[in-house]
A and B are shown apart, each in its own frame.
Chain A
């Protein structure tokens, strides 16, 4: 072969190689999946709007892992998991080092295919060893599958890397229970104590292990300790938390508004609820919660107006009628209150609390006998509520029906657990009042006799 022909051959080979690589790059590499459509039938327009926007963005950026991932997260947040899986698969191909995508895929697959979910969690954990959430989910799945030998070394590593996470020790104790190793469970409990990672759930789990072995004294001690231990806090999952940012259904905002109301941040709650009510007029709850926030704020008139409007718009909702009644009573509109309670109880006859409120209104109107009857019915409907019984007892005490009051109060002790401090205090207060009233009665009786 001459040098010239050798060079020609080499150049030709190089050219063919380059062409082959180009073809492979564009044609023979596995194509990205088709961008999933979602069925918007019956869906909220805000959800459809969000998903449409994200899909349109993805159409413009088909090679963006972020675009695929955002669309997938929005689909997942709105319970379109089949479509979300396709998006996460594409995002994972475009950004193979991002552990989010296999992790979220695993969360979805955990509903239907544990082995596949385990593989995804393992992949996520390998990509991001600092993320405990994937490892813990993997361990949880392995325990469910009965693969204890696989779970054990992972838990060892987790305990080394995250010694202060209660969840890790909880899973270790669980594994000890499954492997019938109660001493090991105590060992892990001790280790958790040293790391200040003990929680109520962990102690109860440890107690259960001991009970299973017949070590009831040890178990009872652990149970007693669990009553005073800190509530269990699960390992944070920031990737799942990210889904909330994509919520267009109002669920996240509703939860936020509830929290704001509980924390007394009523102005903020009102703003959130007003937005929700206008976005979702077909739902009663945002507007109802808004009315309750107005009431909490002292704006009774506006609350009353809102509730009246709601009662007309949702006439078959007993909760609306109940709150309309309570608000009307607060506003001094007794007749409206009774009328609304009547409607409420027609819709929900077993509403013990509504009966108790009606009893109070009847009593205020001087109808004590009717009030007592209503309270008795309320107690029947809600036997587990000590406060309704307390209401009945107070009414009976005021009516000087002492034996009936005693009979009504007597079962409450059996209802209460030691942790119910407020209820225990009220019980003691009423018992003292009953005792005082009985003594006064007795003294008055003796004086009369004399």
Chain B
């Protein structure tokens, strides 16, 4: 054992007797340590590259969706030629959830892309139609149904054009529009091509379509957005000269198409092209999405068009049936900085549940998805920054989108499907293993955490796939009260996702029945009242990107266990708002035009 007393006294003695040596030793030690202590410079010249934003994820780690396997459609159904680099091939196709046979069960329509070289000529352009069976399985009835597209398929949209109670169809493609009359009998889905007799002649690149009664004569009219004035065979390249898809800036815009349904003149399925006389032809855009709604509260339906890399349009209708473009004035044309954005998918929805319908648009990588919050009737403010929806989307190129309450907690959530339109050398500097891997991205879910506030949802099956996704449709496929999702991707199998989220509250679904057509009333605005809460939504089945969702309007009610009353502002025929009695929730309610109590004329203050 050491003699500590001796050591201590020796150390003390050393300090007392040899101050210079100790000081030199200390100096020596400091000098030796100096290079290590000061070696790391920090400051503006030190780059910390954090290319992938790491957003906080929601505390709701529960799974929301699980994938349904074995849809009876070939995994190669959707094809886009990877060698051609033709622009339609990267814009992709949408999908549709619609009840074609009126049996109360949603059916599926998938839109094809290019014609596969090995496909038989008679199958060229044929849509895939899956009829839902009573046991929940699916039957492929594509050939019998006969739905087709012209050129590279864009979307399929349904509405009752002839007011006979079943949904007819419009398909859009890179070479124009086709119209089909629904001739389903005894459960056999059959759609008959009536394009020629309809007098709708359109061979331009048609993208989105919305059907609504713009002149309130009880017959649904047709609005089709047109994309660019595309020149096939155009060759574009990225900055290094490597072949890549052309972007919209390489081409001019085109005018959209508005056709008035002449059904009121005893001629169902006859349309008159009113594009020029209505004023719509006055502006050329590069339309990819559209929403028809009464934006300024005057009882007349207006039209919002999402234009790719151009200012969006908001066509405000006057009583003479003419439209004036006012998006810039109303704050929904460009982003906060005055820059036009890519604008692919568009959803007209109440994002912050303040009773006003906003706009939510999906955009390109390098931009963010945009929430235009309605501040007063028909005026908007880009409020993306505060919503939590901006930064998580900056590295993604968003297309299809659905805003809905997936977990029924009373706050809306958002689903976005993504996929690039050009290579992303900042995010993926090295070439990928295959053509489509260069453009593939994952989908995203955002959970609503407060009114107008969202956070990325935790890892979910819905977000697992890396694909070039485009179309997204929502609907209560299994009629269990929550919303399921259908995704269409380029050169990849379509995917159906069943909602398995733990239910955090109640729900209500509303089916509107127009007095004109014994079917849905597109554009009907529904207000559900429960206590002090007012939940507002519209019948907007054609929503998102080139897709169509369930025409029943779904409300997540959270803890609201009953509904006091429901008001519907009908979009056609006589101008009126009707009130219906409330009652129990967790059910599907059917509200028929004319069966409620009139409240006020639309456009007047109730």
Contacts and interface: CB of A to CB of B under 8 A. Distances in A.
Interface of A: 1, 6, 9-10, 13, 16-17, 20-21, 23-24, 28-30, 38-44, 46-48, 77-83, 85-86, 88-89, 92-93, 96, 101-102, 105, 108, 110-114, 116, 119-120, 123, 140, 143-146, 170, 174, 177-178, 201, 204-205, 207-208, 211-212, 214, 219, 223, 249, 251, 280, 282-285, 314, 316-319, 347-350, 380-384, 411, 414-417
Contacts of B379: 211-212
B9 interface: no
Contacts of B203: 349-350, 381
B232 A92 contact: no
B338 A384 contact: no
Given A120-B44, A381-B204, A383-B281, A20 B255 contact: no
A98 to B, nearest CB: 10
Interface stretch (B31-39, B58-66, B130-138, B596-604): B31-39
Contacts of A116: 48, 50
B50 A384 contact: no
A415 B329 contact: no
Given A13-B24, A143-B337, A384-B282, A24 B240 contact: no
15 contacts: A16-B31, A17-B31, A38-B240, A44-B240, A89-B46, A93-B46, A112-B395, A143-B336, A144-B385, A208-B331, A212-B379, A214-B376, A317-B234, A350-B229, A384-B282
A174 B337 CA distance: 8
Q: Which of A83, A88, A380 has the most chain B CB within a 10 Å cutoff? A: A380
Interface of B: 18, 20-21, 24, 27-28, 31-32, 34-36, 38-41, 43-53, 175-176, 201, 203-205, 229-235, 237-243, 254-255, 273, 275-277, 279, 281-284, 322, 328-331, 335-338, 365-366, 375-376, 379, 381, 385-386, 390-391, 394-395, 425-427, 429-431
B461 to A, nearest CB: 26
Contact of B275 (A144, A282, A383): A383
Contacts of B234: 317, 319
Nearest 10 Cβ contacts at the A-B interface: A44-B241, A79-B239, A146-B385, A42-B242, A43-B240, A123-B44, A384-B255, A89-B47, A24-B35, A111-B366
- Do most interface residues of chain A lie in helix, strand or loop, or is the interface mixed? helix
B121 to A, nearest CB: 18
Given A43-B240, A77-B239, A85 B47 contact: yes
B281 A78 contact: no
A347 B328 contact: no
A211 B329 contact: yes
A9 B335 CA distance: 69
Contacts of A17: 31, 34
A47 B241 contact: yes
Q: Which of B204, B233, B379 has the most chain A CB within a 10 Å cutoff? A: B233
Nearest to A86: B47
B51 A112 contact: yes
A34 B241 CA distance: 25
A83 B429 contact: yes
B49 A13 contact: no
A283 to B, nearest CB: 6
A417 B240 contact: no
A278 B115 CA distance: 35
Contact of A211 (B46, B51, B273, B330): B330
Contacts of B175: 349-350
A111 B328 contact: no
A297 to B, nearest CB: 25
A380 B429 contact: no
B336 A207 contact: no
B216 to A, nearest CB: 21
A42 B45 contact: no
B89 to A, nearest CB: 14
Nearest to B429: A82
Contacts of A42: 240-243, 431
Contacts of B391: 114
Contact of A85 (B49, B329, B395): B49
B337 A140 contact: yes
A21 B32 CA distance: 10
A77 B385 CA distance: 30
B479 to A, nearest CB: 42
Contacts of A205: 338
A178 B456 CA distance: 25
